[in-house]
A and B are shown apart, each in its own frame.
Chain A
């Protein structure tokens, strides 16, 4: 009880500091650091912003999630995409094929959470591996069959709606994977790696940034680049990443937009963008107090994306079950499942911990997948989980369900 109260108080403090930060663009008086209107930072007239690796991984994830809905793919094809090796023709985009990066190596791989937690990191990676295998080996072979409790297959939403392809437990694995990436890849890398002092200030980064020492052969300092890499996991698929319009991918970028579109959470997207700009300007200004305060703002809001969407979809699923539209219900519950999974990668501002631990998330997963899974999940279960998430993030179930 005490803890919840403290957390709530902290969050409240944070919210108030956020709102003042939103105005920072025009009132630089307290720190002297001014955020530019757009995410444009230059040195000698040349842009110092670079996050090609993040764009690459977002695009890889996009193609990969699409491939999970193509029942002609084999497990080995899917695995090859997930663990892409430089030069292999796993993707339709030649640039992706030429890249030495892959998705899997950055799943559950942040410095803060996993550098001394490899066993759990491996368990999480193994979850994704298992979802991929199950999609290829259980769902794909039953692509044309009708799903029922305990039987994988397809179900069409009412009134001639979309067809959903689910496991024997009613789980749409492509949704589990896609929404799981929002936490396991994007959120984790952003909040627990690139925005962390352990990465921003690693080695001589601070001294080099103070003295304008650039990375070898590059036009940016390491610290600038780390911050930009965090930025890239959110905005890397934007047409013009310096001025994001959101909705640019199927991942964090789009779901930040969704949360922001809910009037109860409007302003979230702007707060994140402003914090990113101000934090980056603070790095240029060598003001690491302002920088770190922006990181905390981003952590709070980005963490909230998974929480709000988790509750939203659990409640949406509950409604659809009541309407007897199981296909639509499974679709929403599967998205919710992925967002719940993502909660373990969130980051409570000013702490080293997620809002929900790995074990707590595992317990939710077990509860949702018990017995025949979504076929017999109870309203009480969906409501209890929704309430617990909403309470911890200090919003209401009704606000998120909106």
Chain B
């Protein structure tokens, strides 16, 4: 479905916007419609994005510690702690994946953190060879949270005993320990670099870019948000495993497949992250600030007689209710009753139309990618 992302020429939609000289990177921060985009950028950066990265970075620091403890003494207690730390970090990651901008975009951060399903063959090849460049594009499906999912739950067949044996008595135990260490360290290093970039230089660039061009912060992050919703959340977590884009369902393509029973929790977390971002809700706080929601309210955007921001929140809530009704393990859900899965997908899809058409039209923002799903 997303096989071709077509970059497009950028045009300002309305004549109003065309005639106004809104391409300065400084000034009032107001766009042609009068909404203060800079206040939104500041809210995004200071109460959501940077706090998310800070939390993720500290979760990954915890993961490094848990990994070190495990590698020093690979026993059940330490395995459990390692796994718990992985899941905590994975949940925070759900808040971060949509911010594919700045350093994250430059280093293909997302592609090194959460491409799934992980390739067991590539992971095992890396382990066996012992020499690898984890940042190489070939390894994008052999690193990050999905690779750890395999390392913590997928190696060693059936039981935790088997898994522990891989790290202890197996002939290549040291290679497995080295590899799981390298994977975790890589995630920490990448995240640290994205966070440091935000706090050192990028935050000011980001909030200063208030124009309405393709490369302006609002336009780019709006596109990232919609793309993430459509691809990272809707397609990757639900649509692809449910077979929406293939002849048959693909139940092994769920997120955290080897752990199994957290795919729903991760999807719900991602949906919370999306909704919180839409509403400008500060990370881990109930404070709200300038946001898509406020922007739509400012524009007084109405669809079929109802406020668009209300419609969007309501539809996200409907989707959440649907997802909550699913099996905690999407693989099992797809196998037992895929129609329930596609029902949830349908509700998620309805949000796409609202944000990708109605919302961006009223904000005069051009979507810079299309699904090239034609003949």
- Interface residues, chain A, with chain B CB atoms under 8 Å away: 51-54, 56-57, 83, 101-102, 104-105, 115-119, 121-123, 194, 198, 202-205, 207-208, 211, 213, 215-216, 222, 225-226, 229, 232
Contacts and interface: CB of A to CB of B under 8 A. Distances in A.
A56 B375 CA distance: 9
A51 B369 CA distance: 22
A202 B338 contact: no
B366 interface: yes
A201 to B, nearest CB: 9
8 contacts: A53-B375, A54-B375, A105-B247, A115-B349, A116-B352, A203-B6, A203-B366, A204-B11
Q: Is the interface of B mostly helix, strand, loop or mixed?
A: loop
Nearest to B238: A118
B247 A117 contact: no
B346 interface: yes
Nearest to B243: A122
Interface string B219-248: 000000000000000000001001110010
B194 to A, nearest CB: 28
A118 B11 contact: no
Contacts of A211: 9, 11
Nearest to A106: B375
A70 B326 CA distance: 43
Most-contacted residue by chain B among A121, A204, A211 (CB, 10 A): A204
Nearest to B246: A105
Interface residues of B, number: 30
A213 B9 contact: yes
Nearest to B248: A83
Given A105-B247, A208-B8, A118 B345 contact: yes
B370 A203 contact: yes
B305 interface: no
A207 B368 CA distance: 12
B342 interface: yes
A229 B9 CA distance: 23
A205 B374 CA distance: 14
A100 B66 CA distance: 47
B30 to A, nearest CB: 24
Contacts of B247: 83, 102, 104-105
B342 A204 contact: no
Contacts of A116: 346-347, 349-350, 352-353
A53 B11 contact: no
Contacts of B128: none
A52 B264 CA distance: 41
Given A203-B8, A207-B11, A119 B342 contact: yes
Contacts of A232: 375
Contacts of B366: 203-204, 207
A229 B375 contact: yes
B343 interface: yes
A227 to B, nearest CB: 11
B64 interface: no
Given A104-B247, A116-B353, A207-B9, A225 B374 contact: yes
B113 interface: no
B79 interface: no
B339 interface: yes
B359 interface: no
A200 B199 CA distance: 43
Contact of A118 (B342, B352, B357, B368): B342
Nearest to B374: A229
Nearest to A101: B375
B367 interface: yes
A118 B244 contact: yes
Contact of B370 (A101, A119, A123, A202): A202
Given A118-B349, A119-B343, A204-B370, 8 more contacts: A53-B374, A105-B247, A123-B339, A194-B374, A202-B370, A204-B8, A205-B370, A225-B374
Given A53-B375, A101-B375, A216-B6, A203 B369 contact: yes
Given A53-B374, A226-B374, A229-B374, A122 B349 contact: no
A50 to B, nearest CB: 9
A118 B242 contact: yes
B55 to A, nearest CB: 33
Interface string B316-347: 00000000000000000000001100110111
B231 to A, nearest CB: 14
Contacts of A121: 342
Contacts of A208: 8-9
A388 to B, nearest CB: 28
B9 A119 contact: no
Nearest to B357: A198
Contacts of A225: 374
A119 B339 contact: yes
Contact of B367 (A52, A119, A203): A203
A97 B319 CA distance: 40
B341 to A, nearest CB: 9
A83 B243 CA distance: 13
B374 to A, nearest CB: 6
Contact of B346 (A102, A117, A216, A229): A117
A205 B342 CA distance: 29
A139 B96 CA distance: 56
Most-contacted residue by chain B among A101, A116, A211, A216 (CB, 10 A): A116
Most-contacted residue by chain A among B8, B239, B243 (CB, 10 A): B8
Contacts of B338: 122
A104 B9 CA distance: 34
B367 to A, nearest CB: 5
Contacts of A101: 375
A119 B346 contact: yes
Contacts of A216: 6
Most-contacted residue by chain A among B247, B342, B347, B366 (CB, 10 A): B247
Contacts of B349: 115-116, 118
**Pairs of residues from A and B, 10 with the lowest C-beta to C-beta distance, nearest first:** A53-B375, A203-B370, A116-B349, A204-B8, A118-B342, A119-B342, A207-B11, A83-B247, A116-B346, A116-B350
